[in-house]
Structure formats: C-alpha cells, structure tokens
Structure 1
Amino acid sequence: MTLFLAFLGVSLVVIMTPGPDTAITIRNTLLGGRSAGLFTALGIASGLSIWALATSAGIVALLTASEPLFLAIKYAGAAYLIYLGAQALREAFRPSAIPHPQTAKVPQARLASGAAYRQGLVSDLSNPKIAVFFPSLLPQFVPAGEATFLSLLLLGITFALTTFAWLVFYAAVVAKAGDWLRQPSVRRVVEGITGTLLIGLGLRIATEHR
C-alpha cells in the first residue's frame, strides 16, 4: 500500500504539470464545450491505457530498442503537435477569429466529440515520452514477488484514470468560464498561448535525445 500511495503522489505531480494533454484539452473544450473536453480526456486516457498494456507485455521495450521505429513515432508525434499548434495560431490571427460583438460569446464552430476523442488518442499514442516514461516509472513501484504483468498494468491503468479525472476537472473549469474565454480578445490570447505551447512541445520532442 505504501508503494501504491507513493506512486499516486508521483503520478499527481506528473499529471498536474501542464503539457500537451492539458493544452489540447483546454483548446478542445473552448471549441466544443465540456463534452469535447471530456472526450479529449477520454482519448488521452485510452492512449495511456494502450501504453500501459504495451509496457506490461514488454512491447514498449521492443519499441524503444528499435531506433528507426522509435524515431518514426517520435517525429510523427512531434509533427502532430506542431500541426495542432499551427491550427490554434491560425485561429488566433485570422480575421474570422474576431466575431461581431453580438455573437462574440457564440462559438463559431463546435468540435465534434469523435474528433475530440481522436485528437486526444492520437496525441497520446504518438507521444514517445510515454514510451520512455512508463517503463522507467512503473517497475519502481511493483512490490517484490508480485506478478509483473498484472502489477504494471494496474499501475498504468491507475495513471490513465487519474489523468482522465484531472483533465475532466480541467475541462469543467474551462467550460464554466467558457463565455468569458470566448470573448474575442481573450479567445485570441488563449489560442495564441496554446498554439505556441503545442508547437514548442512538438519542437522539443523532435530535437531532444532520449
């Protein structure tokens, strides 16, 4: 139990640190409301669950051992983050991002739940940092003598569920302040910040070593 509580503490620190998951959840909540934020969080949690299963089965170890395959996922993930960031910056600076005052609080386009889920899932599955993070973190909290597969899977699923709960809370807060955040000037600032953050994270992933 002590190891599990320690794992929860470390997980919360990692999960609550702003990153691409947080940025995508905020942007999608602004575009599609609370439901889009929830489905984005669900997509991210699904991706983490797949990573957890792959880590428990030893597949991630094979992935990281293959330099070409790891680099392919790394650059694909970086490109996807940069693509999402570029979309956000386009929304921040194009003229249509400034609606008429009478419609300032009305979203110009709502993000469908399916698209929000897909963005969350693809963003997480193409994040090579998880491929390095899970195998280095999870084994440290497996009690000696326990079945490694089930123990690793339980820890990974716990991490995914905790991430989901945190992002749903984040989405609820953003949705609550939705009208204010959708004001033209505020919306442009938020889009600009999230776009810059996503592009910066994408570039960092593409250029950093393991």
Structure 2
Amino acid sequence: MMVPLDLLLPFLLASTLITVVPGADMAIVTRHVLVAGPRLAQKTVFGSLSGLLVHGLALAAGLSALLVASATAYTIVKLAGAAYLVWLGVQALRDARKPPGIELADGALPRRAYLQGLLTTVLNPKPALFFLTFLPQFVDRGRPVLPQTLTLTALHVLIGLIWLTAYAHLIARARRVLNGPGVKAWLERATGVAFIALGLRVAVERR
C-alpha cells in the first residue's frame, strides 16, 4: 500500500468532512439539476473534479507552493475566482426573470456546465491551500512522496464524485416540487444571491 493505513483512514474521514461542506460546487450542481436534471449536473460534477485534479497535479509539480508563496499570484487567482462567482450569480438572477416556458437548456449547455464546474474550482485558491497544507499531513516522509500525493489526490476526487453525484440525485428527487414556476424562480434568485455572496467572501478573504 502506497499510503500507510494509519494515515489513510484519518485522511478518508477528514476528506469526506471537507467534501460535504456546502460551497460553490454544490450551488452549481443544485442549479443545473433544476435546469435540466441530474444528467446535466453530472457534467458540472466532472468539471469540478477535473479542477481538483488540476490542483492535485499542480501540487505534485510545485505550482501550488508558488501560488501560496506569491501574494500577487494568490490575489490574481482569488479575484478572478470571485469575479467568476459573481458573474454566475448575476446570470442566475437574470434567468429567474425569464418566463416559465423558456427553457435554459440548449445543445451547448452540457459543455458550458462542465466548464463552469472546472473554472469555479480552478479559480478557487482554497483547493490549492487544501492540497498544500492539508494533504501533506497524511504523507509518510519515509516513503516516496509523489505516489502518495497522487494516491491521496485520486481518493479525494473519488470522494467528491460519490458525494456530488449522490447530492445531485437527491435534489433531482425533489425536482418536481422545486421546479414549480414560483419556486423555481425563487430558487434561481436564492442561488444567484448565494453565488454573489460566495464571490464577495472569496474576494475579501485573506490567506
């Protein structure tokens, strides 16, 4: 086993707890379930997990350390991510004003859903901090570090896949009720406000 069992089990528990904490990824998944069902939301899930892989590979390549060490680089990524979240919030507020008969889904939406999940995660400096400060605590320095880092990254992504997929299907079960014209518009507004609030919080947060 690449990662010792006494380090692996605590990592799985901690990674699970961190994964289920609500954030931008769950907000986007919720919105896309309401737009077109869990199949569309799954594209967002894959995008978000691809973003985690980017951060994990960046850690392995040493880029995460550079991001955290450089205040300028950290600020640029943070503000870009904050602006993107605010933009998503504004889009949600605009969609809430559309008549109920107008569908938001089109042929390009699955690709857009994937990119939204990817960009939201890649432009969020928190995963970089997670991989740089949290993940190394579960690496045995007496063994090759790179295989352990990649293994823990893959496990974190797997936990994210299981949780976000299950969450999307749970939301989908309530979709008929939540997709009523008045309720759907209210949820779009609530999601939009949540995105904007997340973006503002990211913008003012310090490391």
Q: Give the TM-score taking structure 1 as reference length.
A: 0.90
Partner of 2:147: 150
1:69 aligns with 2:66: no
1:110 is aligned, of 105, 108, 112, to 105
Partner of 2:63: 59
Give the 3-state SS of the residue equivalent to 2:152 in structure 1.
helix
Offset of 1:189 from its aligned partner?
A: 2.2
1:85 aligns with 2:94: no
Q: Matched residues in 2 for 1:127 and 1:58: separation?
A: 17
Which segment drifts farther, 143-152 or 199-208?
143-152
Give the 3-state SS of the residue equivalent to 1:145 in structure 2.
coil
Offset of 1:110 from its aligned partner?
A: 1.4
Note the aligned Cα RMSD (angstroms): 1.4
Offset of 1:67 from its aligned partner?
A: 1.9
1:44–1:164: 8 Å Cα contact kept in structure 2?
no
Structure 2 portions without partners, runs of 5+: none
Give the 3-state SS of the residue equivalent to 2:37 in structure 1.
helix
1:56–1:150: 8 Å Cα contact kept in structure 2?
no
1:193 is aligned, of 169, 186, 190, to 190
1:90-114: CA deviation from partner (whole Å, max 9, x where unpaired)? 222x2x24x2xxx6xxx72216211
Runs of 4+ aligned residues of structure 1 deviating over 4 Å after TM superposition are none
Offset of 1:187 from its aligned partner?
A: 0.7
1:45 is aligned, of 45, 49, 52, to 49
Offset of 1:177 from its aligned partner?
A: 2.1
Aligned residues: 201
1:22 aligns with 2:26: yes
Offset of 1:144 from its aligned partner?
A: 3.2
1:123-177: CA deviation from partner (whole Å, max 9, x where unpaired)? 1000011111211100101123111111112111211121121111111122222
1:169 is aligned, of 154, 166, 171, to 166
Q: Give the TM-score taking structure 2 as reference length.
A: 0.92
Offset of 1:56 from its aligned partner?
A: 1.8
The sequence identity of aligned pairs, in percent, is: 41
1:36-72: CA deviation from partner (whole Å, max 9, x where unpaired)? 1111000000110110111122111012222222211
